[in-house]
Amino acid sequence: MIGVIGGSGFYSFFGDDAQRVDLDTPYGTPSAPVTVGTVGGHDVAFLPRHGERHEYSPHTVPYRANMWALRTLGVRRIFAPCAVGSLRPDLQPGAIVVPDQLMDRTRGRADTYFDEGGVHVEFADPYCPALRSVVTGMADVVDGGTMVVIHGPRFSTRAESQWYARAGFSLVNMTGYPEAVLARELEMCYAAIALVTDVDAGVDVGDGVRITDVMAEFAKNIEPFKKLVHRAIEQVDAERTCTHCLPHQGVQLPFELP
């Protein structure tokens, strides 16, 4: 099964015929019931990251419950559409980017399932190369870039934004971590698909980033963005062959993965 985790403004993926599944996990309930349908011959599970009515801010999303629930349903590969700000003048609103690196600038988020057992997880390349290649092969998709994940819910100051840009980061986001590392701990392939909704405060002089502008830009692009995710799923191989996202081979875990 393939999973899709929808970001801000991305609250549904199927029609009314999709099956809704309510789940509970050792880490609480996920952001919303999971809806299950089919796309291109694949069984697909969709979960809105922020809830069905955007109940969860970036720092309160139940990330561990979300990822555990998807794994329990049988998901082993995940596309994660998200809204991002641009830190590069050449990446304007409407651009779609598939990052290949992330920088964590969050604080205090529950970001592991291994609070005991001495388990360490390889994370040098945080995104699945097989899933990335599916999307980067599409027209008008930008291949690569570092996404810095800030804590939120506030947007960056100009000084912070300029600092990130000088460091060479391409995108700024609030939810890409710990989602990616939790997927890796659960041995699920994971790739982010980023829709640029704004140019960050330190790149262009102006009023700064406002949530109303972000949501308006996302709403303007949501239907073609959904179609791109549908096309990506249709091009995923029937069988999972990736070994990059299996970090526990030869490792004794303190519990069995769901």
Does the annotation flag 8 for ligand binding?
Answer: yes
Taking Cα atoms as reference points, which of 131, 130, 128 lies closest to residue 245? 128
**Is residue 43 among the annotated active site residues?**
no
Chain centre to alpha carbon of residue 87? 18
Does the annotation flag 133 for ligand binding?
Answer: no
Does the annotation flag 200 for ligand binding?
Answer: yes
Encoding tokens for residue 88? 């590069």
Residue 52 CA to residue 89 CA, distance in Å, equals 33
**Is residue 198 among the annotated active site residues?**
yes
Residue 79 CA to residue 229 CA, distance in Å, equals 8
Find the helix packing angle between 129-136 and 211-235, rounded to 10°. Answer: 100
Out of 22, 125, 198, 213, pick the active-site residue: 198
Q: Residue 152, Cβ neighbours under 10 Å: how many? A: 16
Out of 17, 22, 140, 200, pick the active-site residue: 200
Q: What backbone phi and psi angles, to 5 degrees, belong to 136?
A: -70, -15
Can you say which residues are annotated as belonging to the binding site for phosphate? Answer: 8, 49-50, 175
Residues designated catalytic:
198, 200
Can you say which residues are annotated as belonging to the binding site for substrate? Answer: 174, 198-200
Can you say which residues are annotated as belonging to the binding site? Answer: 8, 49-50, 174-175, 198-200
